[in-house]
Structure 1
């Protein structure tokens, strides 16, 4: 599927605010939950049904109305309000190893009309689904878009063949879901991204606002020979005295890691010279989203749109994602840096190092 949360698909803050306002202003949907509690609906299609409906890709489908069943307490706090989204859909297609999911905010199209349809909207003015409860308490999910899990404009980006492969099938609509215990839905959503005990504490807990850190990796000749398109020979990600002093004077420890500066030093095998770039970070879901900064930069142009992502790795490592040429392996001011990284310099697994390894 095309980018969903990138090192997570990321929704804009404006969309979060808009979604939150809609959900807070909307009355509770008593059709879905007469007593105001969270509600779960689902269906697991058997082999006979799927054989009779060859154009239906969805083998399992669940809809959860209530609080976010996806976020987990050991992830970074979400910038999204608890009530921003109140409708959560998850489906698993035939042959898939785990479900896909999407979220939206569900409201009556006409709040003054008891018979009015329920529409669940998504960001970018897209529709997640239309909902209706029948006289037996079953949830009818209709108007489900084939590209519900894809980015807007995915058909043009992917091409017709790949789009058809990734999109839902022509019979994936008008689902009739049975009421189920909320734990059933929560268990299904938990399969989307199971907790990995090896990941340990999130970065915001592992890395302290008033303490330095150093992560890095030096690639040997054997690795570089097997990765001919990798420009990076050595990389360091760190917070030292300068970054600590900057946060101490202007940062807010209560909102850590928002506003934290980090430095990234890269040595490439082509040039051999070390280049250092500073980034300013924000906590986002289970990662840090860091924008290139003019502070301590070797570049003078406006490079604020150059971003990297930091995420906890297994067994104390740190993952760094560079999806859009955001590392100084090329001049960030050049036109050549405007496109996406086309080399092996996209994902780095970095090991903790002594602070001396990150000294200038």
Structure 2
């Protein structure tokens, strides 16, 4: 896993494990902080090590320069992210490593159990979805954590070796000496600080959209592109764009929405005026909170559309200094009627990512 972004990630590997994950969740839920070797008092526990230049010079095939293992409650749900719906909190083991010269760590989550519950001396296995193993753990008589069995492709999709060239796989995978780590016990805050490096807080971003935009208040964001911009972006069809919640969208949420799970179920409207004869298209989307963004699917409940438009999606994300980012990195934002023949397939234009400014509600009036 890596920090989440607006651009849709390749999910092929995750889909391979989706069925297994559905069955594994219930079993994991009973394992929270039950391993006394890692946490004698039931509190969150942290182990880590930072390698100096001399060690790395002596071990040229070790890529990992920093490594931390956290046994406890999720340290990865950073302030930059919104809580995911039905978030799986059953993971209890979290690993983060930073390879040489990398600016940010990578991380993976797991659930940890005794190899043999009937044998107090047996080691600990931390498992992942898709029947993968994160690592095997033991605590020595000095309280140090011995971490072994770490696969070099721990951060890659299960089928990465088949999907990547050998050179690319070796570039992204860990090194041949990245295993059998001995980690020192550390304060829990040390691990939390290390995991916070994955996605540092940007003060310019301010509150997340779920806080900034209220369930019962309208909003309007937009942008108008001048001739100079359009001349420098000949493949962009959008001349003007508006993203808003008005009386219709507010009434829809008031009638059936759940404010406790805001923004799940929130409707928004997107109006696009194109440079071709000034044609204007307005489309309604229904949104769900997902990490640090809203994932919004095209909706027909306030339209006369009869075709299947459920797979047409856009993403909303807070931008710096009160702006809003809107994107559809796969198919571009709809600039035509989604039920028309022109809407089938991928949109071959530059209408994919927008930085929108807050506007008065009158600017988004129909």
Structure 2 length normalisation: TM-score?
0.87
Decide which of 210, 222, 244 is 1:216's aligned counterpart. 222
1:25 aligns with 2:24: no
Residue aligning to 2:5? 6
1:160-186 superposed Cα distances (whole Å, 9 cap, x missing partner): 332322222222222221111112111
1:159 aligns with 2:165: yes
Residue aligning to 2:182? 176
Residue aligning to 2:323? 317
Structure 1 length normalisation: TM-score?
0.88
Residue aligning to 1:302? 308
Decide which of 82, 90, 94 is 1:84's aligned counterpart. 90
After superposition, the Cα gap between the structure-2 partners of 1:156 and 1:14, relative to the gap in structure 1 and judged at 3 Å, is: closer
The alignment yields a C-alpha RMSD, in angstroms, of 2.9
How far, CA to CA, are the matches of 2:323 and 2:24 in structure 1? 35
After superposition, the Cα gap between the structure-2 partners of 1:144 and 1:332, relative to the gap in structure 1 and judged at 3 Å, is: farther
After superposition, the Cα gap between the structure-2 partners of 1:264 and 1:336, relative to the gap in structure 1 and judged at 3 Å, is: closer
1:290-340 superposed Cα distances (whole Å, 9 cap, x missing partner): 12212344753212122222111111111113122162136656697555x
Q: Which runs of 5+ in 2 are unaligned?
A: none
Q: Which has the higher mean CA deviation after the structures are superposed, 251-260 or 343-352?
A: 343-352
- 1:320-335 to structure 2, matched below 5 A, reads 320-325=326-331, 327-329=333-335, 332=338
1:97-136 superposed Cα distances (whole Å, 9 cap, x missing partner): 1212222222223323323332222334333222222232
User: Secondary structure of the equivalent of 1:356?
Assistant: helix
The answer on whether the counterparts of 1:236 and 1:266 sit within 8 Å (CA) in structure 2 is yes
How far, CA to CA, are the matches of 1:168 and 1:297 in structure 2? 51
The answer on whether the counterparts of 1:276 and 1:297 sit within 8 Å (CA) in structure 2 is no
1:204 aligns with 2:210: yes
How far, CA to CA, are the matches of 2:236 and 2:171 in structure 1? 31
Q: How many angstroms does 1:353 deviate by? A: 0.9
How far, CA to CA, are the matches of 1:86 and 1:67 in structure 2? 6
User: Secondary structure of the equivalent of 1:25?
Assistant: coil
After superposition, the Cα gap between the structure-2 partners of 1:330 and 1:46, relative to the gap in structure 1 and judged at 3 Å, is: farther
- 1:23-62 to structure 2, matched below 5 A, reads 23-26=28-31, 28-62=34-68
How far, CA to CA, are the matches of 2:227 and 2:168 in structure 1? 37
Matched pairs, number: 358
The answer on whether the counterparts of 1:20 and 1:85 sit within 8 Å (CA) in structure 2 is no
After superposition, the Cα gap between the structure-2 partners of 1:93 and 1:294, relative to the gap in structure 1 and judged at 3 Å, is: same
How far, CA to CA, are the matches of 1:352 and 1:197 in structure 2? 19
Q: Which has the higher mean CA deviation after the structures are superposed, 241-250 or 148-157?
A: 148-157
Decide which of 88, 93, 96 is 2:99's aligned counterpart. 93
The answer on whether the counterparts of 1:299 and 1:331 sit within 8 Å (CA) in structure 2 is no
How far, CA to CA, are the matches of 2:277 and 2:149 in structure 1? 55
1:225 aligns with 2:231: yes
How far, CA to CA, are the matches of 1:270 and 1:156 in structure 2? 45
Residue aligning to 1:70? 76
The answer on whether the counterparts of 1:198 and 1:314 sit within 8 Å (CA) in structure 2 is yes
How far, CA to CA, are the matches of 1:232 and 1:111 in structure 2? 62
User: Secondary structure of the equivalent of 1:222?
Assistant: helix
How far, CA to CA, are the matches of 2:80 and 2:267 in structure 1? 23
